[in-house]
Structure 1
Amino acid sequence: MTDLLDPINRRILAELVANARIPVTELARKVGLSKTPVALRIRQLEEAGLITGYRAILSPVRLGLTHVTYVEMRLSDTRHKALEAFNAAIRLIPEVEECYMIAGGFDYLLKVRSRDMADYRRIMAEKLSALPHVASTSSYVAMEAVVEQGGAIL
């Protein structure tokens, strides 16, 4: 895999992270190759799983989703079946922007986006608290996004 990450492919990936809609001809010009080898390299990066897809990144602010809350979740049961049930259920809640299983004093850390505190309270009451095996939660409201990045750093 590391042989795929030569300096040219790193530049290709950096350009695609900055602008996934860049035309291949422009990308080729930026990395100093012709169009055909760049298209081939992109296909190889996709086939190797380094590029997993392309998507539109929406503005949460423009959508009115300015309220961010981080939620620690502790489960009452952490056996394999319970974790699978929780994982399947959490994936169905669109307001959960991120969810990580954590090694430490709690089991999961969630990033939840909502319109405001009242909207978050509704999400907590109707969706998050109803998840399987939830024993307790702690919520932390973000006051300001200081750094928000979408994509890996090369």
Structure 2
Amino acid sequence: MILDFLGNADAHLTDPPIPLESSINCDSAANLCKDGATGPLWMHEIEAPRPLTQKFMHEHLDRIDQAIVRALADDARLPVSQIAERAGLSQSACTRRIQALEDSGRITGYGARFGHRRLGFRVTALVDITLSTQIEEDLAAFEAAVSQVEGIVECALVSGGQDYRLKIVCRDLDDYERIHREHLGKLPGVMTINSSFVLRSVATRSEADALFRGA
């Protein structure tokens, strides 16, 4: 287990104790020494706050934070005790890590994954839209209108020949035709609409596995 004197103190259950540098003795770290002992000072589990240091705010997560993110990606309902066990932390240290990940915007929320077909939504459409202008006000008006349309679960401003790509989940082709007629064709500034349909979704790795594939 490693004590980071810059402010990161987590119990690493799988790491062996490591002596501090010889320049650190009982006079400079008396609170960690027992009975005034001299010689190498060994690490002990210390449940100290883990502030958002510059190191932690770096774009890359360390192996412990990655273990936490992977566990939450697998099942966001896991109790902290199980997440802590996977990451090799005490529960209190794990809770602080999760809070720091949330506060830094690395974890933005938790949700359920739906079985669309079992819920009656059997058609997924990918819709490319070109607008008549790319003026900022027109883009904002289009995006505001899109947010009000039922069935649209994703909207991305893209490069290339089109301006936006929408992902629409609907019950069947008749349902998509209705959405197209009642909503898509009436979106502000729309010049062309090109639709394609997903024939089969291919299983891939989880988002966490894909993001940290090189870890």
Q: TM-score range by the shorter chain?
A: over 0.9
Larger radius of gyration: 2
Question: Is 2:113 the partner of 1:57?
Answer: yes
Structure 2 unaligned regions, length at least 5: 1-56
Question: Is 2:170 the partner of 1:114?
Answer: yes
In structure 1, what residue type is equivalent to 2:168?
A: V
Cα–Cα, structure 1 residues 56 and 66, in superposed 2: closer, same or farther, change >3 Å? same
Match of 1:25 among 60, 70, 81: 81
Match of 1:131 among 171, 187, 195: 187
The answer as to whether partners of 1:70 and 1:139 remain within 8 angstroms in 2 is yes
Cα–Cα, structure 1 residues 100 and 149, in superposed 2: closer, same or farther, change >3 Å? farther
In structure 2, what is the Cα distance between the partners aligned to 1:77 and 1:17? 39
Cα–Cα, structure 1 residues 56 and 13, in superposed 2: closer, same or farther, change >3 Å? same
What is the correspondence of 1:1-154 to structure 2 with a 5 Å cutoff?
A: 1-2=57-58, 5-147=61-203, 151-152=207-208, 153-154=211-212
RMSD: 1.6
Cα–Cα, structure 1 residues 3 and 112, in superposed 2: closer, same or farther, change >3 Å? closer
Post-superposition CA distance 1:41-79 (Å, at most 9, x none)? 000000001011111222211111110111110101210
Cα distance, 1:151 vs structure 2: 3.6
| Paired residue total | 154
Post-superposition CA distance 1:118-142 (Å, at most 9, x none)? 1100001101111110111011111
Q: Secondary structure at the match of 1:2?
A: coil
Cα–Cα, structure 1 residues 43 and 4, in superposed 2: closer, same or farther, change >3 Å? farther
Cα distance, 1:98 vs structure 2: 1.1
In structure 2, what residue type is equivalent to 1:78?
A: Q
Cα–Cα, structure 1 residues 150 and 66, in superposed 2: closer, same or farther, change >3 Å? farther
Q: When the two structures are superposed, what TM-score results if normalisation uses the length of structure 2?
A: 0.68
In structure 1, what residue type is equivalent to 2:119?
A: L
In structure 2, what residue type is equivalent to 1:107?
A: D
Cα distance, 1:149 vs structure 2: 6.6
Post-superposition CA distance 1:103-123 (Å, at most 9, x none)? 110111111111111110000
Structure 1 unaligned regions, length at least 5: none
In structure 2, what is the Cα distance between the partners aligned to 1:105 and 1:45? 37
More strand by percentage: 1
In structure 1, what is the Cα distance between the partners aligned to 2:127 and 2:171? 16
